[in-house]
Amino acid sequence: MRLSRRRALQWLAGGTAWAAASPAFAAELRVARLIAETQHDATISQRIDVISAALRGTHYQSNTLIGSPRRPERFVLRDDAFDCVTYVETVLAAARSHDQTSFETTLREIRYRNGYVNWFERNHYFFEWCEHNVENKMCRWVDMAGSVQIKKTVDSQKGLSTRRFVIHVIPRPVFLANAARLATGDIVGFVSQRPDLDYFHCGFAVRDKALLLRHASEARQRVLDEGMAHFFARSRARYVTVVRPQEVAVT
């Protein structure tokens, strides 16, 4: 599973950027190993639990992706550092894959509309991330009685036109009161109170003795488990959206 220097240059020339951890690329080694170790786990919830737990302690880093409106987009594969979204994307792609090649393909489909690697096709806003990953059957919406709709007009991402969303959200008391309806691996997005932003954070729900949030934490600078109620109190989040990862369709 070691990548030679020539192989690394081939990846970079093809628009794929790997985390370069000398003497081998740690991203390929770790993701490939976790995919292999979870092949016999029966459900995607179990695979997400094992893979996401194995990545606890990984360093938090923002802006790990490469590209801008004026800079060509590069497809980035790494597991040495995450922000909250790239952590969720990496774990979800690994849990839906059977080898390194399918992992790369799946990650493209999760991160970009129609899997097309282009800055303008990247799911910059988490609402669009959820919409597109429900449309491509990676996930499905999770609803709860007591959900409401809110309107958002967002323009926090420079280079994109203003977006207007009607978001179906779950109030914090409703979400916490219905914790038994959640499954380990459900993806929770926390709605921002900023008028120009849709969500400020995301992570995985984990069913344990208490409901946990497994996430790449900017405040703690690493991937960790945190009590869901504690995160709500600390962040003062009022609403969430939940999507549930789906099994790979058998054709």
How do residues 93-123 score in pLDDT, each as one tens digit?
999 999 989 999 999 999 999 999 999 999 9
How do residues 47-83 score in pLDDT, each as one tens digit?
999 999 999 999 999 989 999 999 999 999 999 999 9
pLDDT value at residue 13:
37
Show the tokens assigned to 99. 């080898």
**Spatial contact of 170 and 239, defined as CB atoms under 8 Å apart:** yes
Q: How confident is the model at residue 204 (pLDDT cuts 50, 70, 90)?
A: very high
Helix or strand (DSSP H, E) at 204: strand 199-207
Half-sphere exposure of 179 (CA within 13 A, CB side): 17
Q: How confident is the model at residue 249 (pLDDT cuts 50, 70, 90)?
A: confident
How do residues 155-194 score in pLDDT, each as one tens digit?
999 999 999 999 999 999 999 999 999 999 999 999 999 9
**Spatial contact of 44 and 246, defined as CB atoms under 8 Å apart:** yes
**Domains along the chain?**
5-121 (1.10.3670.10), 139-245 (2.30.260.10)
pLDDT value at residue 30:
87
pLDDT value at residue 3:
40
How do residues 137-160 score in pLDDT, each as one tens digit?
999 999 999 999 999 999 999 999
Q: How far is CA 104 from CA 37, 119, 129, 155, 195, in A?
A: 17, 17, 17, 30, 35
CA-based nearest residue to 197, from 157, 170, 242:
157
DSSP 210: S
What is the percent of the chain where pLDDT is above 70? 88
